[in-house]
A and B are shown apart, each in its own frame.
Chain A
Amino acid sequence: MTEPVIDIQGVWKSYRFFQLRDVALRLEPGQILGFVGPNGAGKTTTIRILMGMIRHDRGTVRVLGCSMPSEQAVAKRDIGFVSEDMRLQSSATLGWHMRFIASIYAGWDASYADVLLRRFNLHAEQTIKGLSHGERVKATLLLVLARRPRLLLLDEPTTGLDPVARHEILAELMDVVRDERRAIVFSSHNTQDVEQISDHITFIDRGRIIDSSDKETFLDRWRRIHLDVPSGAVLPPLAGVTDTSASGRVAIVTTKAYVPGLETTYTRSGITVRDVQPMTLEEIFVANVLSNRGEQP
């Protein structure tokens, strides 16, 4: 059995106004994990714990077989980290950064770096301070991808980018994920981006992992069911219903446990099923977060 790329169990981290609570994550080689949560949910804290930059209070964190943060120097040889708020040396050129990274990583792929330069329309002679935000993100991604790390930790890399830059970056990442040995954690609050490249999704909210599954399971399980409820009929109590809203005879049930044939449970109760709508990942995310917040004490 192959060792997981990321294996974190029971991780806690407390700040004055925020607490990461009992976080567990597991990522296998070749997996692309979309790490989705609202702002301030704990995505960045979790990723920085994975990088060894923040020391957790409790729990175990193993990345690429290394215990973090004590073995971070070894683990980071094979981790590529890009964060939305990460900046490069503004007075230096991109070429200087490329030479700097090449002097550190023996696996630096100069020809791939050239390909990325052209693909991202960047120039090695450009100083970083002359780059736009989108170009800076692309430059950072170039510096990370051209050394071909086994694990990519991408903390909201597409935040603040225009649609074209986002498309270019996601397209490049799609290319990267064809290499089945690589694993990626892609954190974002933009579910469209996550849906595009991830095969596994984990939702985090208020410092807790609230749901985690492969993308297809999420999309298959979650449904919004439109019902016609005649007077006197009562909605049957079904497991997995996260929200019910009613107006007159019309009721809308949101469920996270849809299975084909669920409709018959309603029809047996005298309720007419008008429509069963699949949900987008964004709708699933919002419904999931709100439902979990409602269940929390």
Chain B
Amino acid sequence: MSRSVVRQLILKDLYLTRWMVVSAIAAGVGALAVMPMSVVSGYVATVSLICTLVILNIFLVMSGVSQERKDKVQLFFVSLPVSTAQYTMAKMIANAIAFVVPWAVLTVATLAVIDVTAIPNGIMPFWTVVLVYLLTYYFVLLSVALVTDSSGWHGTSIAAGNISVNFLIPFLLSLRSVAEHRTGPTAVWTPDILAIIAIEIGVAIAAVSAAVYVRSRTSDFV
């Protein structure tokens, strides 16, 4: 029975976030549609796409995790026949799906737009690093929200995530491997690019693992 309850909890979260997910995909696709039109529209599209994923990130975590706990709705769902660990797992899986699906759709769409339009394919590694960074940011924020009720920590994580994107982009553009190849006709996956992507994925996995570990050891769930 517990397994089916976990499934229902996941479906419940996906149902409640469906409009956020659909809206994010629509906004992202809209941004990508204008990306190849000109340099200016490419810049607007880049900012819009990043903002779309950042906003989706914050909305999903704040409404699905923080608000559920703050509004004491969590008390209702934890009273169902699941263990607190299963509830945490359901929350993690549902939120992962709710973000990863639109993220994957928009990542594939971004790479496809670059591939089929006049935008040089050499920019693909740059975009991949940025998009994986946004994925990592999501999982870090989700983990923080699962572990603590503190609005201070949530705010700090959001601020750090948003500000860090502004440092990441100039940092990437200053990398020789990106600078040399970004206007080239083919995507060049240099070792430093692959290393950055690996670090991003590693940080996301570490954040999720730490959150599940800390939550499973918490003696007071509510």
Contacts and interface: CB of A to CB of B under 8 A. Distances in A.
A90 B71 contact: yes
Interface in A86-118: 86-92, 100, 103-104
B80 interface: yes
B5 interface: yes
B176 interface: no
Contacts of A51: 78-79
A86 B72 contact: yes
A74 interface: yes
Interface size class of A (residues with CB under 8 A): 20 to 34
Nearest to A86: B75
Given A87-B73, A104-B4, A53 B78 contact: yes
A92 B86 contact: no
A54 B81 contact: no
A76 B2 CA distance: 10
Contact of A72 (B1, B4, B84, B220): B84
B90 to A, nearest CB: 12
Nearest to B5: A104
Contacts of B84: 52-53, 69, 72
B83 A54 contact: no
Contact of B79 (A74, A81, A90): A81
Given A54-B220, A89-B16, A104-B5, A83 B71 contact: no
Contacts of A87: 71-73, 75-76
Contact of A53 (B8, B12, B221): B221
B151 interface: no
Contact of B81 (A53, A74, A100): A74
Contacts of A76: 79-82
Interface centre among B79, B84, B220, by most A CB within 10 Å?
B79
A20 to B, nearest CB: 12
B38 interface: no
A73 B2 contact: yes
A48 interface: yes
Contacts of A74: 81
A55 B215 CA distance: 13
Given A54-B219, A89-B73, A140-B76, 18 more contacts: A48-B220, A52-B83, A52-B84, A53-B75, A53-B220, A54-B222, A55-B219, A72-B83, A73-B1, A79-B79, A85-B75, A86-B72, A86-B75, A87-B73, A89-B76, A91-B16, A100-B8, A104-B4
Shortest 6 CB-CB contacts between residues of A and residues of B: A55-B219, A81-B79, A76-B81, A77-B81, A86-B75, A73-B2
